[in-house]
A and B are shown apart, each in its own frame.
Chain A
């Protein structure tokens, strides 16, 4: 082995200021870090890596120091989605019912300010809960865990909130001009250098979420990749349910043939029925 031709870093290389990323993006990325300080309990839960060591008792103990978040977990555990019909009275059981990844997802929601609808684009939660339920419902067809899919769906639009937060008017204009999901992503890349889902992926990766959550977000536009297929299908289902004049995109196309239209039709009603309750449970109202 030789050590010749070494170049000392930072020396003798001509440099110019970076053309990209935009300063807006830098601010958005920085804001991800400052959020943690404001929501310490949520931050602690988010940082707990999902491992063998995670247990319901510890999670419940930590949760008790954030009454609002604990209340939402209880509410979600007792929601129709989990079928427990108000019988869950202990936080530990509630944590078990909703599952650790979901608790973590809810903590992420609190951490990133997604629980404050006044700071979000209109219809944000209707969209995200619909995506989440569509993903959870369709997950078994993709060999994935419904719980993971639910979390992925809930957090996927996080990037939208982050972009909107840093550029409220600009983002609203962009959204109005681009009704289709793909078109909007392209516009986001043009304006911010990154699209919202990619931004979500960056944030989740930063917070130590597993690659099973991060990868599909990055692969959402890559129609050749199966990693993003479930999320694409869920987005399509949610768009059909929430956007009035949406022209349906065949799900066979979106999923590389993994899913047929009949499967989508079968889940539409159930997703619509459960989405509102999930939204209420997530927001605690």
Chain B
């Protein structure tokens, strides 16, 4: 709305008008023409120097030239568009020069106030900033398009909104369509309908000046889907607006690979069933505290070991696969079948009460009991099945699964092939045990397991020669817990290694401290009990480390091992004992006579001492000396010494000395004491 009608300026002095006119007339940088209607035809009546130069007419030739013949593109009445009476006009036109050539110009035409005469300013059209801009933008776009065209990365170029101006070959082949089908908004049909909104959201963000990225599925022409990551950036065209450049990364294969890995880490490779980790996750997903309704059916195959050992592991695997197949076929749709490991399977069902769960367990038992042919033999698989139903007492999913384990243990304890619904008292007991194991673990970590030391005396002169380390656990709420209880707990809970190390280290530390405090009066040896589960390659290293740590000679330590522990795997036990003996540590067999030792084997074990069990010592009071006497005699004949445990009276002590026991230990002689009390006791007795 720029043009306005020019008005005359009557007050300008004549000299100035004349000066301006002269300047305009002789200017060759300015092209000026004056037109007037002569005999009904608009004609040029004047032109300046610039006009004669541009148009190639002499001044006389220019005069009276019809405007229409100067601007041939304005046909007929169209000259009126240029020669307006009330306002100025601007038009891009072609003017015809004297030679007949057409020159592109911009004409600015201003009428004089009378409306009969017009001044025309003619500006030769140069390259024009608009054209340059446009050409630059076009070239830029072409470069970008050709770059994208050659790129192996599927690429989209949008001109406006979601409308594409270009797609490259890589994108076309990704979706299996021709470029023509994708341009404009055509490509939107390739985006999965559920993902399209997310893509548009990102485009909105990008058009608002941010970068965008989203995951989207693309549906190929053949109907298959590819999962992609679409990354978007703004593409601004000056004077026009903004679109986007989108690059597409096809992550379908990567996701599939990750999914495979994920599947492998969460599934049993043999049966394809969820493993323990996934079982826990799935149960947690379904578990609602207090809601009830979940049932866990745990199975333990009774025959797997037999099959493995008799028909081979391939047959065992075949059996497991068959069981998995039967389980899947027997449970309801939606029930979860998992194989947490070994010979165990778990079925988790929603909305099932105890009766229905037991009924399902029975169906499972029946389905499993059908014969399966393995290695040419018909085997009838049996499983012990434990059924647990969620109650208000179950605070977490883990508790429910754990109860499943307890239930199956109960079933197994009752004999093979049984189905047991979890007994509440057994659950309470098992839970209590689990809690105690957790507390024991903490107690060991915090070194709250303390040691008492009971002196061992030479039988003939009652001189204290050693101490036995006895572990004690004082539970903050339950009070003292019997070693028989917590050692068994440690063995079941996998804590025996840690407990053993604690006892070994603390004993050595105490010995070293006694050495410092008492000098020569310090106990010369300490006996440490070792569990059957500690009898492995690591024991030797642990003993060496403890002795080194506290600067003790190996002779200061005696390791006590129960008879039953030695007999679990005599060959490997012997190997461990030989290592210890070579180190210089002495060895004792604890509770001798309570197990079933092979005497011939005993002969080959590198032991130094037999400890006569306290039960045989107790019999002495009743006049039964036979076993104690026999053990002492046996030891002597094997060249071993004996320690009689549980000596509670002076009479027993005298009797045992008479029977030939080498050493005595018991309440009658000295009670177990703390390390510091023992130091005081030894200080007194040394004097």
Contacts and interface: CB of A to CB of B under 8 A. Distances in A.
B59 interface: yes
A18 interface: yes
Interface stretch (B20-28, B311-319, B538-546, B549-557): B20-28
Contacts of B192: none
Given A5-B60, A85-B200, A137-B184, A21 B80 contact: yes
A92 B85 CA distance: 41
A13 B196 contact: no
B37 A96 contact: no
A7 B63 contact: yes
A14 B131 CA distance: 43
Interface string B83-99: 11111011110000000
Contacts of A18: 37, 40, 42, 80, 83
Interface stretch (B109-117, B609-617, B679-687): B109-117
Contacts of B163: 81-83, 146
Given A13-B45, A16-B37, A84 B241 contact: no
A51 B116 contact: no
A97 B185 CA distance: 13
Interface size class, chain B:
35 or more
B1 interface: yes
A169 to B, nearest CB: 21
B159 A146 contact: yes
Interface stretch (A64-72, A208-216, A231-239): A208-216
Given A3-B26, A83-B163, A194-B81, A52 B238 contact: yes
Interface string A87-122: 111101101111111100000000000000000000
B36 A13 contact: yes
Given A15-B38, A18-B40, A21-B81, A10 B116 contact: yes
Given A96-B242, A147-B240, A83 B162 contact: yes
A96 B238 contact: no
Interface string B179-195: 01001110010000000
Contacts of A43: 1
A206 B26 contact: no
B204 A93 contact: yes
A166 interface: no
A47 B200 contact: no
Contact of A9 (B36, B83, B90, B197): B36
B206 to A, nearest CB: 9
Interface stretch (A29-37, A124-132, A175-183, A252-260): A29-37
A50 B277 CA distance: 63
B40 A189 contact: no
Interface string A12-55: 01111111111001100110010010000001001100111010
A145 interface: yes
A207 B2 CA distance: 8
B415 to A, nearest CB: 68
Contacts of B3: 206
Counting chain A CB atoms within 10 Å of each CB, the highest count among B1, B46, B75, B188 belongs to B1
B438 interface: no
B265 to A, nearest CB: 39
Contacts of B76: 20, 189, 193
A198 interface: yes
Interface residues of A, number: 77
A205 B90 contact: yes
Contacts of A96: 207-208, 241-242
Interface in B157-189: 159-163, 165, 180, 183-185, 188
B285 interface: no
Contact of A99 (B84, B184, B241): B241
Nearest to A192: B77
B133 A51 contact: yes
Contacts of B81: 21, 25, 29, 194, 198, 202
Given A56-B242, A87-B197, A100-B240, A9 B45 contact: yes
A98 B207 CA distance: 11
Contacts of A158: none
A21 B83 CA distance: 9
A91 to B, nearest CB: 11
Contacts of B37: 15-18
A247 interface: no
B38 A14 contact: yes
B73 interface: yes
A137 B185 CA distance: 11
A282 to B, nearest CB: 16
Given A18-B42, A205-B92, A147 B84 contact: no
Interface in B645-681: none
B78 to A, nearest CB: 6
Contacts of B39: 14-16
A274 B38 CA distance: 53
Given A1-B49, A97-B161, A51 B92 contact: no
B234 to A, nearest CB: 9
A15 B116 contact: yes
Interface string A133-151: 0000100100001110000
Contacts of A270: 184
A52 B185 contact: no
Nearest to A212: B134
Contacts of A14: 38-39
A10 B36 contact: yes
A6 interface: yes
Contacts of B22: 3
A102 B162 CA distance: 16
A274 to B, nearest CB: 9
Contacts of B46: 6-9
Contacts of A207: 1
30 contacts: A1-B26, A1-B28, A7-B45, A8-B46, A9-B46, A9-B112, A10-B34, A10-B112, A18-B80, A47-B2, A52-B133, A52-B239, A82-B162, A82-B163, A83-B161, A83-B163, A84-B162, A84-B200, A87-B197, A88-B204, A89-B204, A96-B208, A102-B160, A137-B184, A192-B77, A198-B81, A205-B91, A206-B90, A210-B134, A211-B128
Given A10-B114, A202-B91, A211-B128, 13 more contacts: A1-B49, A3-B26, A4-B59, A10-B116, A19-B40, A77-B161, A87-B204, A90-B204, A93-B207, A101-B239, A145-B240, A198-B78, A211-B130
Closest 10 CB pairs of A and B: A193-B77, A21-B80, A83-B162, A82-B161, A20-B77, A99-B241, A83-B185, A97-B161, A50-B239, A9-B34
Interface of A: 1, 3-10, 13-22, 25-26, 29-30, 33, 36, 43, 46-47, 50-52, 54, 56, 77, 80-85, 87-90, 92-93, 95-102, 137, 140, 145-147, 189, 192-194, 198, 202, 205-208, 210-212, 214-215, 218, 266, 270
